[in-house]
Amino acid sequence: MEKRARKPDSARVSLNTIAEKAGVSVSTVSRIVNGHLNRANPRTVERVRALLDEFDYRPDKIARALRRGESRVIAMLVPNLDNPAMGAIASSTEAALRAAGYVMLMCDTHDEPELQDYYLAAMREQSVEGYIIVSAVASPMLAAFLERGEPVVLVGRRAPAGMRRTAFVGIDNFAAGKLATEYLLGHGAVPAAVHTSLASSAIADRVKGYQAAMAAAGHKGVAVRIVGSTHLQHLEAGYLAAQALVAKGGWPKAVFCVSDLMAYGVYRLANEHGVAVPGNCVIAGVDDSKLNDWIASWLPSVHIPYAEYGAAIFEQLKNVWSGAPAGDKLLRHRLIDRLASRRAKAGAA
């Protein structure tokens, strides 16, 4: 069987090579590659196209896009990628952008203002078309970006206090905190609450939701036990906050945690103290991590539809590009009652 001749390596072929072999200028070849044929001789067009085919030449789409100011690249800044919630948002967003023909660059800010600014500056040099910032923190460059009206979509946390508003994707965190607390109150327990830094609008709103549910149920003053932790990692924060909570008044009958990771930390301390969960203490969280079905059947949690975030974020990006007024895209949440599922399985057995 006769072997077909192997085409030259297209990676080594440039417009200069094609122009030299065709005996024309580089600008002529460029016009033909880009479909502008009105100024080219038909024979020249035929000769250049034959060479393009022979060398299997493919134009550098990235370079061409940059010349048009359209890089098709989106920057995503995410803190603490070891948090399953952050990974879920990133995965959903990458899939939505890829389906629309974009490439996503991702940076882990570790919840640090300096790193956030470093990556914002670095991504701007890459001529990205938009910025997606998950759980943004207050920083000088973020303030400057928002003031200039850069194409920014914030996810999870709203713009820090004093900064210009921009497009936002998330849930109603106040309602989520209230829903989880009402669930715990429905179990006949007076829940305590543990949280991380209230500088986060998402965390602050969840705590406010807890307080509103407690007040509506008639619990005020010493009955409302709230303990915070300054630790950035929610696992450790939950563990440390639970230690402080127990030291101040012993184990409560229920604990509202502002995230599932914090709930895991509280659960670990409960195990160490011999406190049965959910027997002696009911713990509720927010996120509904996929891990819960595998390792935390004891954890009722407010489900956040992270799989839907990507499409919502891309829609907000398009709104920003079109010059539409900054708006919120709030996705629906619901409570997943794993304790009811446990009881149903036990009854069936």
Nearest residue to 28 via CA among 54, 56, 20: 20
Residues forming beta bridges with residue 334, ordered by sequence position: 303
Q: Across the chain, how many H-helices and E-strands are there?
A: 14, 12
* Interval 281-310 mean pLDDT: 96
Model pTM?
0.79
* Interval 138-154 mean pLDDT: 95
> Where along the chain do its domains lie?
10-59, 70-171+307-333, 173-303
Superfamily name with CATH number, domain 70-171+307-333: Response regulator (3.40.50.2300)
> Helical H runs in 101-151?
113-125, 140-148
Backbone angles phi, psi at 90, to 5 degrees: -65, -45
- The string of pLDDT tens digits covering residues 196-253 is 988 899 999 999 999 999 999 999 876 789 999 988 899 999 999 999 999 999 999 9
Residues forming beta bridges with residue 5, ordered by sequence position: none
Domain 173-303 in the same topology as domain 10-59: no
CATH no., domain 173-303: 3.40.50.2300
Q: Where residue 60 falls among pLDDT bands split at 50, 70, 90?
A: low
Domain 10-59 listed as CATH 1.10.260.40? yes
